[in-house]
Structure 1
């Protein structure tokens, strides 16, 4: 249970309050319009509608905490009640990208869709209902109660929802938010028992999406999202009911899942950004502190700290703000400079991290949630500088979650550091996977069988080996091909951060930035290579720039080996 006086014990609490005061709206945040909703259906654009939607949720969080801090403040009360009244009268709490048109528009009787954001809205309102029950007007409390039942509780009870069987963030966020809402506003009853039983089962499904290595197939940002709501619900279920729904086997897996975050940070805020994860993220401090208390030997506290303007995310989520203030304990953070190696077997990821080199190689499958066709791809940093990069995710559109997903360079193998073989890219789908052949932690070496990554009858086998030499800051990549025919063609692509070209020869390319020189050496068995600087738009709409190096080999025989190395030096 959230207790206001406990929040005030956090060392940054009053700084947060002062910051939130500066963010309270001057003009009422209007609801998105119908034509803005239609934009997604007509053009695939999500941003226009979602910007307004999320601004209202941000204000809900700002004002909710400010009124909890100062219950007698009439200005905050009036603003919050007006906002709650408006949100409770929104046509839908669901985003256009997720709404069931037949339920909400093409119907004679209005019904409601349950998605991530409709259920999160219910979570926020139900917690505010409980925390501010003595402060808000009775009419507003009744409206909140009725809206949560009408839009979330009753629809959940009325049918089985697909997210209950999804082994990804949907099961935990949707079901967890519904379960918390039920615990807050429902009396102990048959209906509440039914809800909690279904939510508990959905949480089991969520856990089934993780292997023993605790790795999240969706990347670190979706690990934060899904694991947060799993944790919020599990913690509240236990505290409110006094019972457990998780087994000892579940708890062992949870320990591994809780340690995933620390493995996926290359350094400070920089992330090994597989799948749709961004390259820089604020750590989930709430989860780190919560699980550090449970598993102190296995879960560490992030080295970096958060600023008050980072506490609230771009979607305006209430729950992580409150739980960060509630759960974060004062700890001494010391930078860990020891060498770390991780082999995440279930997801096929190898990570090496010391004070000089930060490296990740990607195996797994091309049938993952938020999938990228990236088998054999790698990320390589030196001295906390990005060298070989992942382009991350584009801005979300309708097409990106439809059959045009792999038209986007960020999701296609053409946008990853993997080869194009006889003009063909990697494919996605069930059965498209890599298989680790060798993993040698002592020698920092891993070999993947990537034959199944390409639907190409001309390939008999394709293996890729990564060999790190930390003592000289070098990465060697060796590709071994066995074709069924002669006269094959390969274009090997490598994606680098934006750097200047210092010099080039037939078989060597030297990049540099302000502090690092990077030498790329190619096999003498190639025909040529070229460089291409290009711009792209990231998930948040910012323009980024990168350099692509394409290595060409033509008319190659049945058996062929392509090699290249990347070595870094401080200037």
Structure 2
């Protein structure tokens, strides 16, 4: 197998030299439907509860029309910026097909096989597998619809080709009997839409040739590996199969090469699932396809990134969120993928976080994240039979690569206060302008918050990105200095960020001056500390200007608060969402705070925060220092 060697020395290169791939029919790590010891719903080892749930839901929709992504909705990306109308229909079409595929594997019923045939043909006849928001057809061809003679390989194309490969692997024998030559159609479309352009064009931005490697890289390369392993199965395609898998591994190597030694993801926890987790899953498939010859457990960054989810956990369904991540992502993540990676890398804490989400009597996996993830979860006995465990909730976490610090009152418990602070820079992936931002949680629930992101539109990744309020530093828990907010770009950067922790005190320090290059700052030193002995968080800011001018009213501290806020002299009482205990915020009593209630109407925000967030602005005129504190509320306290 012609993997690169001397010219391309990266973490994976030496691990894949000279390996031999299994035959296509045995290359994917899921038994086919013909293996009734796994798929028989009465006696098989696959998750019976999950299969029964999928069959029931699939049965309820079988007589209904298939979702239809429409051309007019695809064009909306270029007309009004809406991308969800097309994507929602396309995603639900694929999820329906995944449900039908499992129903067919479990029952071998011809009516379910026909349902799979219908879904496969719909995908084969869909003009493009690329999500319209990603296609370059407008810039290259002047078209608002896909150019079928010049397909673009993106996340969507990768997801479809992998789904078809998993179906071919799972139900190939049944498809040959029920719809002869359909599998040849699958292979034709895979070659035309993915294999040929993947090899022909090597300027895909997600390959990372410019050094900017992001989560698309492992997501797409992992899906290409799955598709090539299964669908390139003719003897005369063996060399091409090796070449495509080698190119995909070379691409994965670029991702692993820039993954920091601490395993942190600058896009945050929510993107770990479709970045580092995708890399771990792709390498797990490759380990199976090579009979274990590919063993990446010694790669430090991969081992450490397995720990990233539990190092980002606040409690319950709440996680540290930066960039475009949500503070409370959907709870039904593919936890089996984390569990499997934790077992492979011997990380018991990571396995415990995954197991804390295993609910006996509920399905072991869902179709929301793709057919491959669904099949892996349903057929992983260690996951299906896993017992619930308490999450690890480490007391202190410091990730130097992203300069993110998390401290809670005690290990193993979300009770009380937790502090999150970050340095970093404003050129991170899916960046928000948030250098120096703090988040405070009580009982695991954020109260001083990072709003996250609204629904993606065409503007989200265009020149107007920072017109979106959630991306701006004025809507994060950082100051506005002389009316100046933080700009985007890696030059807006934290200085001297560091953290330290003892049994009594956890402290994060940073200088924010370089994050405000046009504000004339000599320094803006922020100290955020959790005093464990007093159950108190302190946020101290001290600053001075290069011109020694006094501070004016256009310099303000900002706080974004989730919950019911009652302003009082010298502070505010906040009743957080989700039933967490009330807290009191305190600041100097002569500061006249203004509060702006931000009504929320975007579902990605309301499903996390409810109907509103409150934005507090604290004018800092004539000051060179201010302290804000957060403590649990007690009934006897009186701020009057």
- What TM-score, normalized to structure 1? 0.92
Any stretches of 5+ residues in structure 2 without a counterpart? 1-28, 40-44, 636-640
What's the CA shift for 1:530? Answer: 1.7
Aligned to 2:318: 270
- 1:521 partnered with 2:586: yes
- Aligned partners of 1:23 and 1:493: how far apart in 2? 50
For residues 500-519 of structure 1, what are the structure 2 equivalents within 5 Å? 500-501=565-566, 504-505=568-569, 507-512=570-575, 516-519=581-584
Q: 1:530 aligns with which of 594, 602, 617?
A: 594
The runs of at least 4 aligned residues of structure 1 exceeding 6 Å deviation read none
Q: 1:27 aligns with which of 64, 88, 91?
A: 64
SS at match of 1:61: helix
SS at match of 1:519: strand
SS at match of 1:189: helix
Aligned to 1:134: 173
What are the Cα deviations for residues 378-432 of structure 1, in whole angstroms up to 9, with x where unaligned? 2211123331111111110111111111111111111111111101111111222
Q: 1:96 aligns with which of 132, 139, 164?
A: 132
Shift of the 128–150 alpha-carbon distance from structure 1 to 2, 3 Å rule, reads same
Q: 2:398 aligns with which of 343, 354, 376?
A: 343
Shift of the 104–244 alpha-carbon distance from structure 1 to 2, 3 Å rule, reads farther
Give the length in aligned residue pairs.
562
SS at match of 1:419: coil
- 1:279 partnered with 2:327: yes
- 1:552 partnered with 2:608: no
- 1:455 partnered with 2:520: no
- 1:146 partnered with 2:146: no
Q: 1:196 aligns with which of 245, 264, 285?
A: 245
Asked whether the equivalents of residues 499 and 507 of structure 2 are also in contact (C-alpha less than 8 Å), the reply is yes
- Aligned partners of 1:262 and 1:386: how far apart in 2? 16
Structure 1 range deviating more: 143-152 or 28-37: 28-37
Asked whether the equivalents of residues 515 and 570 of structure 1 are also in contact (C-alpha less than 8 Å), the reply is no
For residues 157-168 of structure 1, what are the structure 2 equivalents within 5 Å? 157-160=199-202, 161-165=204-208, 166-168=212-214
Asked whether the equivalents of residues 50 and 362 of structure 2 are also in contact (C-alpha less than 8 Å), the reply is no
What's the CA shift for 1:509? Answer: 2.0
For residues 21-420 of structure 1, what are the structure 2 equivalents within 5 Å? 21-22=58-59, 24-71=61-108, 73-101=109-137, 106=143, 110-136=149-175, 137-160=179-202, 161-165=204-208, 166-187=212-233, 189-242=238-291, 244=293, 251-281=299-329, 282=331, 283-294=333-344, 295-297=346-348, 299-302=350-353, 303-305=356-358, 311-312=365-366, 314=368, 317-327=370-380, 328-336=383-391, 340-353=395-408, 354=410, 355=413, 356=415, 357-420=417-480
Asked whether the equivalents of residues 219 and 274 of structure 1 are also in contact (C-alpha less than 8 Å), the reply is yes
- Aligned partners of 2:135 and 2:93: how far apart in 1? 19
Shift of the 24–140 alpha-carbon distance from structure 1 to 2, 3 Å rule, reads farther
- Aligned partners of 2:612 and 2:252: how far apart in 1? 40
What's the CA shift for 1:85? Answer: 0.7
What's the CA shift for 1:173? Answer: 0.9
What's the CA shift for 1:498? Answer: 2.0
What are the Cα deviations for residues 454-487 of structure 1, in whole angstroms up to 9, with x where unaligned? 1225101111111101233211001111202313
What's the CA shift for 1:540? Answer: 3.0
- Aligned partners of 2:147 and 2:217: how far apart in 1? 29
Aligned to 2:30: 2
Shift of the 416–293 alpha-carbon distance from structure 1 to 2, 3 Å rule, reads same
What's the CA shift for 1:177? Answer: 0.8
Aligned to 1:16: 53
Any stretches of 5+ residues in structure 1 without a counterpart? none
Shift of the 568–22 alpha-carbon distance from structure 1 to 2, 3 Å rule, reads farther
- What TM-score, normalized to structure 2? 0.82
What's the CA shift for 1:141? Answer: 1.4
What's the CA shift for 1:241? Answer: 2.9
SS at match of 2:100: helix
What are the Cα deviations for residues 99-128 of structure 1, in whole angstroms up to 9, with x where unaligned? 121667759971211000111100010111
- Aligned partners of 1:254 and 1:338: how far apart in 2? 20
Shift of the 183–169 alpha-carbon distance from structure 1 to 2, 3 Å rule, reads same
What are the Cα deviations for residues 196-217 of structure 1, in whole angstroms up to 9, with x where unaligned? 1211111111113321111111
- Aligned partners of 2:258 and 2:423: how far apart in 1? 17
What's the CA shift for 1:365? Answer: 1.3
Asked whether the equivalents of residues 509 and 520 of structure 1 are also in contact (C-alpha less than 8 Å), the reply is yes
Asked whether the equivalents of residues 436 and 446 of structure 1 are also in contact (C-alpha less than 8 Å), the reply is no
- Aligned partners of 1:109 and 1:16: how far apart in 2? 37
Shift of the 285–61 alpha-carbon distance from structure 1 to 2, 3 Å rule, reads same
Asked whether the equivalents of residues 512 and 523 of structure 2 are also in contact (C-alpha less than 8 Å), the reply is yes
Shift of the 474–132 alpha-carbon distance from structure 1 to 2, 3 Å rule, reads same
- Aligned partners of 1:515 and 1:228: how far apart in 2? 31
- Aligned partners of 1:461 and 1:30: how far apart in 2? 56
Asked whether the equivalents of residues 498 and 533 of structure 1 are also in contact (C-alpha less than 8 Å), the reply is no
Aligned to 1:491: 556
What's the CA shift for 1:16? Answer: 3.2
SS at match of 2:633: strand
Tell me which protein shows more strand as a share of its residues. Answer: 1
What's the CA shift for 1:531? Answer: 1.8
Structure 1 range deviating more: 7-16 or 404-413: 7-16
Shift of the 497–521 alpha-carbon distance from structure 1 to 2, 3 Å rule, reads same
